[in-house]
């Protein structure tokens, strides 16, 4: 069975999606303040590895756990939903089907408890 990672074209394509995704995120006043003091190059690399793994690619993600990474941010559902919308739009921009996007967002939603209210 082909993984979404393979179907989307591997890490190079996912890196482009992540770049586009952060363009949307940083333009959104609902969530961009969370990244004010973030090394965005490092953030993009981490996110590319994380999303690659989440889509069935190799596990090269060596970052903190989701709960640890979001500790002290007190993220609310409105923030989570904004990020999920930007991820949807970034994937759609690169021609990913709604069915595959739903699969990705379902996976992301399964992490909600580790991200919200920390």
Cβ-in-10-Å burial (0-12, 13-18, 19+) of 14 comes to buried
86 is in an annotated binding site: no
CA distances in angstroms from 57 to 26, 35, 60, 67, 79, listed in the order given: 26, 26, 9, 22, 27
70 is in an annotated binding site: yes
- Which residues are registered as beta bridge partners of 116? 75
Binding residue numbers? 46, 70
Binding residue numbers for heme? 46, 70
């Amino acid at each position: 069975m082909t993984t979404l990672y393979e179907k989307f074209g591997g890490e190079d394509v996912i890196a482009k999606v992540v770049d586009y995704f952060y363009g949307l995120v940083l333009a959104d006043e609902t969530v961009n303040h969370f990244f004010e003091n973030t090394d965005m190059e490092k953030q993009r690399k981490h996110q590319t590895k994380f999303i690659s793994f989440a889509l069935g690619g190799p596990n090269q993600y060596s970052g903190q756990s989701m709960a640890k990474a979001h500790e002290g941010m007190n993220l609310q559902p409105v923030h989570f939903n904004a990020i999920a919308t930007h991820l949807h739009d970034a994937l759609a921009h690169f021609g990913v089907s709604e069915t595959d996007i739903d699969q990705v967002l379902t996976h992301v939603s399964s992490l909600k408890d580790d991200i919200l209210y920390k």
